[in-house]
Amino acid sequence: MNRAGLIVALVIALAAGLVFGLYPQLDLAVARHFHAYIDNNHNAFAWRIYPPLMLMRDVGIWVSTALVAPAVAALVIKLVRPRHKMLVPGRAVLFLIVTLALAPGLLVNGILKDHWGRPRPIDVTQFGGQYAFMPWWDPRGRCPNNCSFVSGDVAGAAWTVAPAALAPPQWRALAYGAALVFTAGMAMMRVMAGGHFVSDTLFAALFTFLVVWLAYALIYRWPRTKLTDQAIERALERFATPPHDFIAGLFGGKRKSEP
């Protein structure tokens, strides 16, 4: 999560924006290749109903859940038992939960997919659908909700760069590589299934990376904003202790001293 990574991401974003903005037919050309895959029941984009691919997508969706689960569990336990030390460092808990909530959650699924009316490949007239194709930069498509720009699945996969950033230094490069391969695989599956154009998957990954990069800088790097694990623990204790003691008092519990 250094400055070089940010520069690379911004250069890729600029290049992708220009290429797919000036030549939107590239999205159609790639989608047309997978639209041509037709099964015995005459279903186009037949990869979308190919059981192994469907299973791989489902497994991929659960990867992010599994990676954030320890942070969520540590937060819940801290709120229930505020005077006990967190099982996961406070900054890691904050970083993982906030980035997952902001990038795949709020930005992608909460804002873009329901307000950027780009139809999915399977829904455009070029492939037998009812909506006109729209380039990535034009939000005026007729898709009503859960639209093509950008891919929620790919954003969830790209979020795995967040736990990769917290890996031990000797394993960090390998963790980043695994996150990139995982993201690319999810992007390929969504394009093959006619669920997204290539540009949808590129921008999903780029937007997610930028959110993760900014959160890492705010929490871990920049002197004016960086936090400590102890400060986060104290803040959670101040928040959770009064209701904890009140509820304990209702059931005759006694306040325990710090361990």
Q: What is d(CA 205, CA 162) in angstroms, rounded to the nearest whole number?
A: 12
Segment holding 93, helix H or strand E: helix 90-100
User: 122 - beta bridge partners?
Assistant: none
Q: Tens of pLDDT along 46-86?
A: 999 999 999 999 999 999 999 999 999 999 999 999 999 99
Structure tokens at 149: 């720009």
Whether the full predicted model's pTM is greater than 0.75, yes or no, is yes
Angle at 146 between CA 161 and CA 153, to 5 degrees: 25
What pLDDT was estimated at residue 79? 95
3-state DSSP assignment of residue 48: helix
What pLDDT was estimated at residue 259? 46
CB 186 within 8 A of CB 154: yes
CB count, 10 Å around CB of 133? 22
Q: Above 60 in pLDDT, residue 256?
A: no
What pLDDT was estimated at residue 254? 52
Q: Kindly write down the DSSP assignment for every residue of 239-251, as one continuous string.
A: HHHHHHHHHHHHT
Mean residue pLDDT across the chain: 94
Q: Tens of pLDDT along 172-224?
A: 999 999 999 999 999 999 999 999 999 999 999 999 999 999 999 999 999 99
Structure tokens at 172: 């960090």
Contacts of 218 (CB under 8 A, 6+ apart): 225, 226
Please give the share of the chain, as a percent, with pLDDT higher than 70: 97
Give the CA-trace dihedral at 74, 78, 80, 83, to 10 degrees.
150
CB 52 within 8 A of CB 222: no
Q: What is d(CA 146, CA 119) in angstroms, rounded to the nearest whole number?
A: 9
230: closest CA among 91, 27, 69, 107?
A: 91
| Domain spans, the chain | 3-250
Q: Tens of pLDDT along 4-14?
A: 999 999 999 99
CB 122 within 8 A of CB 172: no
Give the up-direction half-sphere exposure of residue 70: CA atoms within 13 A in the CB hemisphere: 10
CB 199 within 8 A of CB 205: no
What pLDDT was estimated at residue 253? 56
* Average pLDDT value for residue range 18-37: 97
What pLDDT was estimated at residue 188? 97
Please give the share of the chain, as a percent, with pLDDT higher than 90: 90
Q: Kindly write down the DSSP assignment for every residue of 111-179, as one continuous string.
A: IIHHHS-PPPGGGBGGGT-SB----TT-------SS-SSS-HHHHHHHTTHHHHHTS-HHHHHHHHHHH
Segment holding 32, helix H or strand E: helix 25-35
**Residue indicated by tokens 């220009």:** 18
* Average pLDDT value for residue range 229-257: 84
What pLDDT was estimated at residue 150? 98
